[in-house]
Amino acid sequence: MRAIVQQVYGSSAMLATAEIERPLARAGEVLVRVRAASVNARDWHVMRGDPKIARWMDRSVFGRRGPANPVQGGDFAGTVEEVGDGVTDLAIGDEVFGEAVSGAFAEYVAVARGLLDRKPANLSFEEAAAVPLAANTAQTCLRHVGEGERVLVIGASGGVGTFAVQIARARGARVSAVCSTRNVEAARALGAEHVVDYTRDTLTGRYDTVLDLAGTRTLRALLRLVEPTGTLVLSGGGNFDGGSWFGPVGLLARGQLARPFVKPGIRAPLAEQTTQSLSELRALIESGALRPVIDRTYPLADTAAAIEYMETEHARAKIVISIAPAG
């Protein structure tokens, strides 16, 4: 099968199209013919091995020069090609979506049954591939939000942010969004009542929940935006300058250390992908309350260009890889 492989940490120039052996569906797994995959910040960090903690998170060993799995990519959508022993609720030809541990930048990927679900009926493969990691992260971060709460989403135009605005709105919250000038109208269209253009507006006021996806403000500045009885939620960050050990993970760590000493609650939840979480997202999507936003779509052979665009152009929402059938 065709796949995008990387043997050495580095820039997108390290990525190459290659013919490799097709995986098999082991017990409890499903082999998926990938029709589309999407790019996430995780793919960029693993590609670079930067920050250095990304190499540890990649289950690398000391001194390894490249990713543990040479084929990256988590989010995917496609059709079931083969089912392993113990998988009884899916059949060949079923349309599915989910998040693999790695390996989705390829024509086929083997995935544990618990990491995928049936594709939303009202989405294309490209749209469905844009959903899993980003939408599940947004959903995990906002599970505590209730009707009428004031929610601020910082980084509202990114992959997670576009889902967060919609999910908060679906939960009955009054949503404010922070983004750049070019994304103001898009944030309003997703359901934000108030939009702050960070290039020219000053962010003021207090909110019941502040979800920071940008990682560009200090912990002290973020806490000033939260009601004493409210919650600051930290997820990811925008430090793409490279060269450090922890990068955006540093803010998450500082938040965890500060938790016992500050009044607003601080959360840095880890999103766990499961069939149930995907099913919840599918229900929201099929009800019309949630939809993916796609910035650009690239063919599999141009995966390096897709990651480079994400890395250098401050992409809006999601970037998707479309994988046409071979031959």
7-34 pLDDT tens trace: 888 888 899 999 999 999 999 999 999 9
**H or E element in which residue 188 lies:** helix 184-190
State CA 137 to chain mean position distance. 7
144-168 pLDDT tens trace: 999 999 999 999 999 999 999 999 9
Tokens 């929201």 — which residue?
284
Flag whether pLDDT at 255 surpasses 70.
no
Measured over all CA atoms, what is the biggest interatomic distance in the chain, rounded to whole angstroms?
61
270-295 pLDDT tens trace: 888 899 999 999 999 999 999 999 99
Confidence class for position 325, pLDDT limits 50, 70, 90: confident
28-64 pLDDT tens trace: 999 999 999 999 988 887 887 766 665 665 554 444 5
Share of the chain above pLDDT 70, in %: 86
Mean pLDDT of the chain: 89
Predicted structure pTM score: 0.90
Per-position b or e across 93-120, b if 16+ CB within 10 A of its CB: ebbbbbbbebbbbbbbbbbbbebbbbbb
102-148 pLDDT tens trace: 999 999 999 999 999 999 999 999 999 999 999 999 999 999 999 99
The average pLDDT across 82-99 equals 97
What's the confidence (pLDDT) of residue 38? 97
What's the confidence (pLDDT) of residue 239? 46
What's the confidence (pLDDT) of residue 260? 60
What's the confidence (pLDDT) of residue 271? 85
